[in-house]
């Protein structure tokens, strides 16, 4: 029988060193007992605890050239062992050794969550991590003295041997305070520079009050909603074993006792008559239009509900540009970016349009840019929104806005980009390819040029096609420039 005596309850290095030697010496788990210094029952004398076999026949490990054989364990095991060793179960060293022993033959064992040894240690590690997390949460410092010379001291009763492991959290968080956390097992102290761990003390060593505690209790009582008592949920997260060191826990019972009564009273209380709700008529599109200004139009369109698209979209994206613009560019509908920003053609398609306009010798600032449909139509798919084509009825519902924009601006020329735009501008489904490349004269308005929508260019998969189509798009736009020149000359 090998008896291994570790320096302390959290002596991971000691355990690791001993365990490695034992594995290499082929000592079966059943032949090892583990103890911690100071924990041995007194009736045994020290002699009995001497290792019953000499340390494995190993060459001197201190020598740097030592050929001491070693074996690798998965990083996952080391992580698990470092945590599980903090568990209070006296068998933890043995459980860990047992798993280590088996890992030598089966290095993939760590991935088998259903293995009983793995599962047991995972459960222990989980308990340790939870206790550590609860210590981070439930330590309550009490102030001794007053700023700037105050010190903060807390009393905590951890379930496992976690004080040293939990202390760095407090050092990072309260770096500019001098603090101590006292526990029955060990105490952690911070002086502004380093953490010191000292032996455990009695609760009486810790301060029993703080000038702010009453204020904290006031907060705790006020933030609680008596109409929604859910004490099971509370206890699952804040188990009773922690209550005795949480000042606010003293309030739990009285708060619960009063809650039902209070909630009852609230429900039974006479309700106050509501003020008359201000009925708002749903604004619709006015169809008679005389002497609109763009600003007035834009304001009115903000609340348009002529079709259902306003519901899911962020806002109406109305046209933009000078009221005296000579060209009106009509796109299909705003996209994701436009919907968020509230401006037409600000996304990637807008940049494409800017480039083509510049190349054709047209200043975008001189044009009026709008869309056939003023709200973004989409379906949400997780974190993105998939663009949807507007239906004919939506195009029709939105057309009055286009008509009023047209009547207000009176441009020399309209450019309809994409099928939706062409349908709205020309009042009927109009295939692009057959109709592009020339101006379509209209009896009741300025001539219309149809072309593709710039986002069509963005969607083309191969670079050659993209270049070709872009050039064609620029050629179309150049017709606009030519027409404007002619109109100017006339």
Partner 1 sequence: MDVQRKLAILADAAKYDASCASSGTEQRDSRDGRGLGSTAPGMGICHSYAPDGRCISLLKVLLTNACAYDCLYCVNRASSNVPRARFTVDEVVQLTLDFYRRNYIEGLFLSSGIIRSADYTMEQIVHVAQTLREQHHFRGYIHLKTIPEADDALIAKAGRYADRLSINIEVPEETSLAALAPEKNVRAIRRTMGRLRLKLDEATEAKVEARKAPSRAKPPRFAPAGQSTQMIVGADAATDQTILNTSANLYGSYNLKRVYYSAFSPIPDSSRALPLAAPPLIREHRLYQADWLMRFYGFDAQEIIDPAAGMLSLEMDPKLAWALRNRERFPLDVNRASREDLLRVPGFGRKAVDRIIDTRRHSAIRAADLAKLHIPRNKALPFIVLPDHRPPPHLLDGAQLVERFRPKAQQLGFGF
Binding site residues, ligand SF4, CB under 6 A:
301, 304-307, 309-310, 316, 373-375, 394, 397-398, 401
The entry of ligand SF4, partner 1, none that residue 240 binds, CB within 5 to 8 Å by partner kind:
none
Distance CA 253, CA 239 (A): 14
Nearer to partner 1, 315 or 391 (CB): 315
* Token pair belonging to 117: 């040894």
**C-alpha to C-alpha distances, 347 to 93, 240, 336, 352, nearest whole angstrom:** 61, 56, 8, 9
- Give DSSP secondary structure letters for 275-286: PPP---PPP---
- Residue pair 402/425 in contact (Cβ under 8 Å)? The answer is yes
Who contacts 211 (Cβ-Cβ below 8 Å, separation ≥6)?
A: 143
3-state secondary structure of 235: helix
**C-alpha to C-alpha distances, 445 to 177, 407, 468, nearest whole angstrom:** 77, 9, 32
> Does 216 contact partner 1 by CB under 8 A?
yes
| Residue 292 C-alpha from the chain's centroid | 46
The entry of partner 1, ligand SF4, none that residue 463 binds, CB within 5 to 8 Å by partner kind:
none
Site for partner 1 in 99-138 (CB under 8 A): 108-109, 111-116, 119, 133, 136-138
> Does 339 contact partner 1 by CB under 8 A?
yes
The entry of partner 1, ligand SF4, none that residue 307 binds, CB within 5 to 8 Å by partner kind:
ligand SF4
Nearer to partner 1, 280 or 290 (CB): 280
> Does 68 contact partner 1 by CB under 8 A?
no
Pairing of strands 151-155, 178-182: parallel
**C-alpha to C-alpha distances, 260 to 23, 109, 217, 269, nearest whole angstrom:** 62, 52, 20, 14
Nearer to ligand SF4, 316 or 455 (CB): 316
Nearer to partner 1, 48 or 214 (CB): 214
Site for partner 1 in 276-335 (CB under 8 A): 277-278, 280, 302-303, 311-312, 314-315
**C-alpha to C-alpha distances, 403 to 93, 128, 297, 316, nearest whole angstrom:** 82, 70, 11, 16
> Does 271 contact partner 1 by CB under 8 A?
yes
Please, what is the minimum distance in Å from the beta carbon of residue 217 to partner 1? 10
Per-residue string for binding with partner 1, 134-153, x by CB under 8 A?
--xxxxxxxx--------x-
Among 255, 285, 474, 484, binds partner 1 (CB under 8 A): 255
State the residue for tokens 């340790």.
Answer: 128
Among 222, 287, 290, 433, binds partner 1 (CB under 8 A): 222
């Amino acid at each position: 029988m090998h008896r291994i005596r570790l320096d302390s309850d959290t002596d991971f290095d000691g355990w690791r060193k001993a365990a490695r030697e034992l594995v290499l010496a082929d000592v079966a788990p059943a032949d090892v007992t583990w103890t911690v210094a100071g924990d041995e029952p007194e009736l045994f004398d020290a002699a009995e605890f001497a290792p019953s076999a000499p340390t494995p026949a190993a060459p001197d490990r201190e020598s740097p050239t030592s050929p001491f054989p070693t074996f690798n364990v998965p990083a996952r095991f080391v992580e698990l062992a470092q945590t599980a060793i903090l568990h209070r179960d006296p068998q933890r060293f043995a459980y860990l050794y047992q798993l280590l022993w088996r890992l030598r033959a089966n290095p993939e064992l760590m991935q088998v969550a259903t293995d009983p040894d793995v599962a047991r240690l995972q459960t222990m590690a989980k308990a340790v991590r939870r206790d550590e997390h609860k210590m981070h949460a439930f330590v309550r410092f009490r102030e001794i003295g007053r700023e700037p010379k105050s010190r903060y001291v807390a009393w905590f009763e951890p379930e496992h041997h976690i004080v040293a492991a939990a202390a760095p959290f407090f050092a990072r968080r309260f770096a500019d305070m001098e603090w101590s956390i006292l526990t029955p097992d060990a105490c952690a102290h911070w002086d502004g520079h380093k953490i010191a761990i000292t032996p455990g003390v009695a609760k009486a060593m810790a301060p029993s009050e703080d000038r702010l505690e009453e204020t904290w209790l006031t907060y705790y009582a006020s933030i609680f909603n008596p109409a929604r008592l859910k004490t099971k949920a509370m206890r699952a997260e804040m188990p009773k074993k922690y209550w005795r060191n949480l000042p606010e826990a003293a309030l739990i019972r009285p708060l619960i006792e009063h809650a039902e009564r209070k909630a009852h009273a609230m429900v039974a209380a006479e309700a106050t008559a509501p003020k008359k709700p201000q009925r708002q008529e749903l604004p619709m599109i006015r169809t008679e239009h005389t002497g609109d200004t763009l600003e007035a139009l834009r304001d009115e369109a903000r609340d348009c509900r002529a079709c259902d698209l306003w519901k899911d979209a962020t806002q109406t994206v109305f046209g933009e540009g000078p009221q005296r613009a000579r060209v009106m560019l009509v796109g299909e509908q705003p996209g994701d970016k436009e919907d968020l920003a509230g401006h037409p053609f600000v996304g990637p398609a807008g940049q494409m349009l800017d480039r083509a306009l510049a190349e054709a010798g047209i200043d975008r600032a001189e044009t009026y840019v709008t869309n056939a449909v003023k709200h973004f139509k989409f379906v949400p798919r997780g974190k993105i929104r998939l663009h949807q084509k507007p239906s004919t009825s939506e195009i029709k519902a939105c057309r009055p806005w286009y008509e009023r924009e047209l009547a207000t601006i009176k441009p020399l020329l309209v450019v309809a980009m994409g099928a939706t735009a062409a349908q709205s501008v020309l009042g009927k489904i109009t295939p692009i390819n057959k109709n592009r490349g020339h101006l379509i004269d209209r009896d009741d308005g300025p001539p219309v040029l149809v072309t593709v929508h710039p986002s069509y260019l963005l969607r083309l998969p191969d670079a050659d096609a993209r270049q070709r189509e872009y050039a064609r798009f620029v050629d179309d736009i150049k017709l606009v420039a030519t027409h404007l020149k002619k109109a100017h000359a006339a």
